Each structure stands twice: as structure tokens, then as C-alpha cells.
Structure 1
Amino acid sequence: MKKIIPFIVAFGLVMTAHAQKDETAVKYAETITVEDLTDDLTILASDALEGRETGERGQKMAAAYIREHFKSLGLEAPVSIEGGRSFYQSVPLYTNVPGETFLTVGDKNYENFGDVVHIGSGGTKTNEGLEVIYGGDGSEEATADLKVAGKAVMIEAQGMRSWRASAERLKEEGAALLLILNAPSDEVFATMAVQLKGYLSGGRLSIDKPEDSSNDNLEVFFVSPSTAANILNLNLEQLPELKEGSIKKIKSKKIGYSVSSVLKTVESENVLGFLEGTDKKDEIIVLTAHFDHVGVNDGKVYNGADDDGSGTSAILEIAEAFVTAKNEGHGPRRSILFMTVTGEEKGLLGSGYYVANPVFPLANTVVDLNIDMIGRVDPEHKDNPNYVYVVGSDKLSTELHIISESTNSTYTQMDLDYTYNDQNHPDRIYYRSDHWNFAKNNIPVIFYFNGVHEDYHQASDTVDKINFEMLAKRAQLVFFTAWELANRDGRIKVDITPESGSN
């Protein structure tokens, strides 16, 4: 792959030198304005839309706004439904929502999200009379001499993820329950419990119906320091001594637990608008952005202005530009599918559902141009906001990368930053937005992104912080690129073998 890049860049520069502006394209790109983007985003990222949580009222209000925009433009509703056509592609999602769950120590029940937090499988499960043994930091060395089969094991772990390897090993050895002490104080644990409640109480959404695996998995409870001390028959002040190894014998209390969950179906939807092409109408250019965000947490609305109200607003205005062009006799040769997807924040669910249930054959899908966060300037570019991160353009198609470079050089002259395009970049951005579901189906993609900023996934991601001039310019770059891909004679070829390392 590395040997190909210099050739691509060199060839792209040669093409760029001879590229001529299409004044017709310029005319319609100029209809993508700061004013219109501001109007769209002010609505999509308003408090009234309640953070657009997947499947919730605010997300459905956003879907209705997008649908009405597509409808007003005269785009076709492409989804077949009983009795007609729809702009909505229904996306059924499933989740296991925690039911009554508690840990019992003696005659006291510790309720979930109070002094304990349950992390575990779906279904219903109870156990009682369990002996508790202390397993240090949970490492193989610390638990090597312990007979864990049928017992509850308490370990101390740093952070939220370091315990998973221990859990897998202890499960294989027959442990009945894992207790994790990972907070230095009850106050820290209380804060953690509130955060986890917001994350876990809604359940984890999936496009696949979860099976009841409650009998297969090791149940896990995080416990507060005072709860741990009670279980181990120690004073709170003795816990540090336990970790240091100065307490050799522990006479713990026997414990039990009860966990339950309820399967819940969440109805959500992708919103699709279709613009039919002319002589190459069976080939489809797809433009995507996700319109969901993370909802309301602790009474605060997470508006998601940049993530991804900015991309959604761009889709709306790019669609309007193409429709205006078609109405004036300059419609695209290839068809264009404008698609705002749901559930990106929950694991790329809406786009995943689409590629598994495509409205148009994936074999006819030429490219996906995906827009996720294009309204801000990240710290690395504070002195030069005229940029956009480009990811994926060179992963599957030599021609696509050349077209991307040439289009930018001809029309928008931004700095195209390929930092996140690096296969070895720790953030692995290529795999983290909706384009990935197309790429893993061997469909070329470009992902447009402004980078991460301090308001990412915070209640402070609000409209007043958007750089609308750059939002408009980046949206115009996507328009120009789509224009070229929709109107060129030949369909771009897939001629690059995907790199290893995909997830």
C-alpha cells in the first residue's frame, strides 16, 4: 500500500494541473450557504430535540424534520412499505434492560446502582450462600493457589477495563461470582455508579436480538469500599492493609445475588431521500451522516451540534443543491441516495442495518461519502481552520483518492489532513463511523471529519461554537466530490486490497 501512495499523489497532481472548473457545479454549490446551515442546525441541535437519543422522542422529531425537508425538495421516498413508499427505513433494535438486581450480604440487600453496580448478561439468575475469597489484583499469580470453583472472588482492579482478563480466567476455573473493588472511596464509587447508571440502565442496543446467556457468563458486581469491608468482615480502614498483604486471614460473610433483565424492543429509523439519475441511474452514490446523539444525562441536554448535527445539516443542504440543479436541467447521471442514519452512537447500528437490508443493491453502490463532525476547528488547526480530515479515500480505490484531491484543489483549496487515515493511528477512526459498514462490504468511501475537541460528547457541544463558514466550505467539498462521481463517464474501480488490521 505504501508504494502506491506516492504514485497516487503524483498522478493526482498531474490531473489537478489540468482540471477545469465546472461552472455549473460552482453555481449549485453556492446554494449551500451559512444561513441555511444555521437554520437547519439550530433546529436539530435545539433543546427541544432532547439530544436525539436513539429511539427516543427527540430522535424521532429529528427524523420527522429530515423527512419533511426531503419531501419538500421533491426527493423520492425509496423504501417499500405495505401500501406505498416511505422516507423511513425502520430499524428494529433490541436491548436487555436491567430489572430488579441486588447483592445480599447477611440480611441486607445492596440495590443495583447504589453501593453496587451489576455488569453482566441478560436473563434472570439467582445464587445464595456463596463463600467469598480475596484474589488480590486478580492476576493469574495472585489467584494461582486459590480454589475458586463455586465461590465468589473479590479482586481489586484499577479502572473499568483491567478486570476483564481476570473475569475470563476465573470463569474458566469455575468461579460463581466476581466482586470488583476499584474505587478509593465511597464518594468516588457513588460518582461512578451515577455515570454507569446512565450508560447501563437503558441497556446496550443491538440490531441482533440478544439470546439469554445468563447461565453461560460470570456475573460481575462492582462494590463500594464500605460494601467490600462489610463482606470481608473488616473495618473500612483495614482495606489498604488487605491490599498490602498484612492481613492474612479473612472470615468473610456468605453472600448471594439476584439479577434480572427484560428484553426491550426499540423502534428507530434511517431517513432516506432518493434522486434518480439519467443514463447511469442504476449506479448509486450514497451520502451519509448520523442524526442521533446521546440524549439527556443528569438533567443536561447533549445537543450534539457538531456530532453530528453538522453532518446532518450538510446532507440536507447538499440534497437541496442537487435537486435545484436537476430542476434546472442539470440532474446527475448516477442516482444519489441521501441517507441520515440512526444509532451511530450505539455502534454504527443504522448503517449496519442498511448494508444488511439495502434498499438498493450493494453491487450497484459506487461510493459512500460519510460526514461526521464538520462544524468545528480542533486544537491542532486553531491557527489554520481551512482544513478537513479525510479518511479512507485511498483504502479501496485509486481513482477515488485522485478525484478527492483533484476536486479539492480545483474548487475548495482546503488542507486535506490525512492524520487519521493512518492504519496505525491509535484512534482507529476509519472503523468508527458509518462509512465503515460500506467499506467492509468493499464499497469505496471517504469520511470527512473536523477532529476531536473538548466538547466531544459533552453537553457543551452547542450551536454557538460552530464555525459555519467552515461547515459550509466542507459541505461544498462533499457536494463537488459527489458531483464529479455522479457525472463522470466511468464508475470508479475497486482496485486496492484492503489493509489488514480491520476490526
Structure 2
Amino acid sequence: MKKYFFFLLLLVNAVSDELTVTYFAETISIANLQSNLTFLASDSLRGRLTGSKEQKIAAAFIAKHFQEHGLEAIVSGDTTNSYFQPFYIKQYFGKQHSVMLNPTDKMRRAKSVIATENVMGFLEGTDKKEEVLVISAHYDHIGTKNGIVFNGADDDGSGTVAMMEMARVFSEAKKQGRGPRRSILFIAFAGEEFGLLGSEYYVAKPVVPLKNTVCDLNIDMIGRIDNAYLDKKEYIFLIGSDKISQELHALSEHNNELYTKLTLDYSYNSESHPQQLYYRSDHYNFAKNHIPIIFYFDGEHPDYHQPTDDVDKIDFGLLRKRAQLVFYTAWDIANREGTLK
């Protein structure tokens, strides 16, 4: 009889956990995604080129969102903590750039140097708070060319607003007494379009030790439909989930099967794929440090790096569902008993 009640209790707890995570996942809002993306991918932000005043307006917008929803500023400053992690980029002739890890004041003032910042919001966990899950997206784009604005609604406005909305929902869960066991660090990277430079700087100068970072879920383009899926849009490309942790891959598959039921396409995960996308977004700087990652990606479309990558072409229902997959996976990682192996 005791064994029966023990298993019954486990079943009740499992059902309760599923109902809880589903409740919060359902609060991911199309209206919020649309409102935030309409601002970030507007002509007034002129393509959010790293180092531009418009990129800094976008950074302030993201930081304000973190602050309004109760996330902590975690970057140490002279007198107080900040949501901004400043860094500097050296610009060479042509399109070559490199991150400056230890610039002097004189080096920072050089005309060829670009000043920019990552934006971070921190949600402290409960009993496993020293372990940290990172949820990331890059908020920069490629600016303007010949006076034409490249708004980057999908690349990577879509990932940025999904990350922002998850920050809001996880924070609300914590306010309702269902905060994550592990801490979560939400990062909007700058400098991705110059060569993954914001994430390169972060892993060199992390605000929490890399040894405490259990995973990076990186979202880079999740608002559009690949040409191969025009007739069946309920899909997402996953890259890197099995490279470092088989448990992460299995966990991701399980949560999709249980909740979102998207087609998970691993085509770009192949080592022989000509695009080599595993090496081409911010997750890779975590992977180089042996931290498990998943890169979420919607595929190829004709508006990639074109001035036609606009908000009116985003499928917000699909963006929401893909964000929910990331949320379910993040919830599981943040609350499971053991770390990923």
C-alpha cells in the first residue's frame, strides 16, 4: 500500500509540474512579441548596426524591459551594477573586425574603435542558484546601405523578442512562487554580425564563471518559413543539441514531443552541411568552452540580409510556438535534478 501511494504521489507531482509549465508557456504573448519587434525592427532604429546610436537605443530598450520585469542588473560597475557589459571592437580596412579584450584608455579613443555593449538580465534561482542557464540572442543587424534600412526583423529581431518575452514569463513565474531552481541569465549580444564578437567577449569576461554555466540556448532567426517548409510550417531547425550533451538532445526531443510537437529538422546539424551553421552564431563561443548548446533557426529565405527583412513578413503565431519550445526546454534544464551530461 505504501508503495502504491508513493507512486501515486510521484504521478500527481509530475502532472502538477506539466500543468504549471504549460500554464506559463501559454502566457507567451503574440501581442508582446509583435509590439517589441515593431520597435526594434523599425526604420527609426536604422538596422541596429553595432556601435551606432540606434543600436544603443535598442540596448536601452532591452535593458528597460529587463528592469521593468524584475530581472537583476549583474554587470559590476564602479558604484552600482548595470544591465550593460561594455566592450570595444577594432575595425580594420574592409569589413574585418576583432574584439579588444584588454584595451587601454588610449586604445579605446582611437578612431578605428567601436564602442558597444551586451545587455544582460539575471534571474536568481532557488536551491541550485549557483548553476546558470544562458538564454541568448543577438540584437545587432547590418544597418543601412546607400540610405536603405536593413531592419533585420527576423535576423535577429525575432530571437531577441523571444528571449525578452521568456525573461518576462520566467520572472512572472518566480513572482508566483514557481521560480527556477537554477539561475537564468538572459543575454542580448551585440557584434554578432561582425563575427560573433559580443559572445566572444562574454566568454572571455563572463559575469558568472563559465564552469557554472550549464547550457546556452541561442535563438537566431525563428520568425520566418524556409522555402522547403512552405506547405508545412510547423517546424524548427535545431543545431548542436547532440554535439556536447546527449542528455540535452534527448531532453529537447522529449519536451517537443510532450508539448509543442514541431517537426525538429537536424539538416543543418550535419558536419558535412555546406553552410556550417554550427560555427556561425553566438552559441559557438559557449560550445568552444565545452558548454552544451542548442541553436534555434528557421532556415533560409530570400530576405536574409536584405532590406525586405521586415516585420510584416514575420509569422507571429509560429514565432510564439517556437519560443514556447525554447521555454519548455529551458524550464526543464533549470529545474531538473542533475546537470546535463
| TM-score relative to the length of structure 2 | 0.92
Aligned to 2:86: 90
In structure 2, which of residues 39, 51, 58 is the aligned counterpart of residue 55 of structure 1?
Answer: 51
In structure 2, which of residues 220, 238, 243 is the aligned counterpart of residue 390 of structure 1?
Answer: 238
In structure 2, which of residues 153, 166, 188 is the aligned counterpart of residue 318 of structure 1?
Answer: 166
In structure 1, which of residues 426, 430, 449 is the aligned counterpart of residue 274 of structure 2?
Answer: 426
Aligned to 1:165: none
Q: Aligned AA for 1:32?
A: I
> Contact between 1:408 and 1:414, CA under 8 Å: does it hold in 2?
yes
Q: Within the alignment, does 1:335 sit opposite 2:331 as a pair?
A: no
Deviation at 1:263, TM superposition (A): 5.1
Deviation at 1:34, TM superposition (A): 1.1
Q: Which has the larger radius of gyration?
A: 1
Distance in 2 between the 1:71 and 1:349 partners? 25
Q: Within the alignment, does 1:208 sit opposite 2:100 as a pair?
A: yes
Q: Within the alignment, does 1:399 sit opposite 2:268 as a pair?
A: no
Q: Aligned AA for 1:328?
A: Q
Structure 1: 5+ residue stretches without partners: 1-18, 98-199, 211-261, 494-503
Distance in 2 between the 1:333 and 1:73 partners? 19
Shift in CA distance, 325/90, structure 1 to aligned 2, threshold 3 Å: same
**Partner SS state of residue 333, structure 2:** helix
**Partner SS state of residue 99, structure 2:** coil
Alignment of 1:347-386 (within 5 A): 347-386=195-234
Aligned to 1:446: 294
Aligned to 2:333: 485
Distance in 2 between the 1:71 and 1:24 partners? 25
Distance in 1 between the 2:82 and 2:112 partners? 25
Q: Aligned AA for 1:366?
A: V
Q: Within the alignment, does 1:309 sit opposite 2:157 as a pair?
A: yes
Shift in CA distance, 209/329, structure 1 to aligned 2, threshold 3 Å: closer
- Structure 1 residues 197-229: Cα deviation after superposition (integer angstroms, max 9, x where no partner): xxx3xx53210389xxxxxxxxxxxxxxxxxxx
Alignment of 1:100-115 (within 5 A): none
Q: Aligned AA for 1:47?
A: D
- Structure 1 residues 27-71: Cα deviation after superposition (integer angstroms, max 9, x where no partner): 111111111100010000000111000010111111010000000
Aligned to 2:304: 456
Aligned to 2:313: 465
Alignment of 1:115-134 (within 5 A): none
Distance in 2 between the 1:96 and 1:392 partners? 31
Aligned to 1:239: none
Aligned to 1:29: 25
> Contact between 2:181 and 2:334, CA under 8 Å: does it hold in 1?
yes
Distance in 1 between the 2:66 and 2:199 partners? 19
Q: Aligned AA for 2:166?
A: I
- Structure 1 residues 128-155: Cα deviation after superposition (integer angstroms, max 9, x where no partner): xxxxxxxxxxxxxxxxxxxxxxxxxxxx
Q: Aligned AA for 1:27?
A: Y
Q: Aligned AA for 2:116?
A: S
Aligned to 1:412: 260
> Contact between 2:101 and 2:201, CA under 8 Å: does it hold in 1?
no
In structure 1, which of residues 15, 37, 42 is the aligned counterpart of residue 38 of structure 2?
Answer: 42
Alignment of 1:163-174 (within 5 A): none
Alignment of 1:124-163 (within 5 A): none
> Contact between 2:47 and 2:143, CA under 8 Å: does it hold in 1?
yes
In structure 2, which of residues 56, 61, 66 is the aligned counterpart of residue 65 of structure 1?
Answer: 61
Distance in 2 between the 1:286 and 1:371 partners? 11
Runs of at least 4 residues off by over 2 Å: none
Deviation at 1:490, TM superposition (A): 0.5
Structure 2: 5+ residue stretches without partners: 1-13, 103-109
Matched residues, percent identical? Answer: 55
**Partner SS state of residue 100, structure 2:** coil
**Partner SS state of residue 81, structure 2:** strand
Distance in 2 between the 1:491 and 1:54 partners? 35
Number of aligned positions between the proteins = 321
Q: Within the alignment, does 1:74 sit opposite 2:74 as a pair?
A: no
Give the superposed CA RMSD.
Answer: 1.5
Q: Aligned AA for 2:233?
A: P
Distance in 1 between the 2:55 and 2:308 partners? 19
Name whichever of 27-36 and 438-447 sits farther off.
27-36
Q: Within the alignment, does 1:272 sit opposite 2:272 as a pair?
A: no
Deviation at 1:443, TM superposition (A): 0.2
Structure number having the greater helix percentage:
2
> Contact between 1:94 and 1:209, CA under 8 Å: does it hold in 2?
no
